[in-house]
């Protein structure tokens, strides 16, 4: 994980008109127990044991969920300017000390 879990949750990756249609919308970073297809655009397989952003809620009264791999969220955070090189360098230095 390149950034803090809050950065992924607060990224706004899927914000927009869809949020109005999804009731009880929740997001959290999870460790996948089984493989999932990334819905973030890359469509790669998120393998068991890897972390992903899970979004859940209800649409038209039915449960919905969406898994997005962390590299897709990281690219979004960097492209949208939500994190900068200073944040990335600090995160990498913190990981070296773990």
- How many residues does this entry show for the chain? 98
Sign of CA dihedral 60, 61, 62, 66: positive
Which domain range does residue 71 map to? 5-92
pTM of the entire predicted model: 0.76
Output b/e per residue, 51-67; b: 16+ Cβ within 10 A: bbbbbebeeeeeeeebb
Is the pLDDT confidence value at 98 over 90?
Answer: no
Question: Does residue 56 or residue 12 have the better pLDDT?
Answer: 56
CATH number of the domain enclosing 62: 3.30.1740
21-71 per-position pLDDT tens digit: 788 889 999 999 999 999 999 999 999 999 999 999 999 999 999 999 999
- 97 within a domain of the structure (yes/no): no
**Tokens at residue 58, please?**
């209800």
- Inside any domain, residue 98: no
Domain count within the chain: 1
């Amino acid at each position: 994980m390149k950034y803090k879990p809050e950065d992924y949750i607060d990224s706004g990756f899927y914000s927009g008109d869809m949020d109005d249609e999804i009731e009880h919308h929740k997001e959290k970073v999870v460790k996948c127990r089984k493989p999932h297809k990334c819905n973030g655009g890359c469509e790669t397989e998120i393998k068991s044991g890897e972390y992903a952003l899970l979004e859940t809620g209800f649409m038209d009264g039915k449960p919905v969920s969406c898994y997005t791999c962390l590299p897709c969220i990281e690219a979004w955070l960097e492209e949208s300017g939500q994190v900068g090189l200073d944040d990335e360098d600090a995160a990498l230095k913190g990981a070296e000390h773990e």
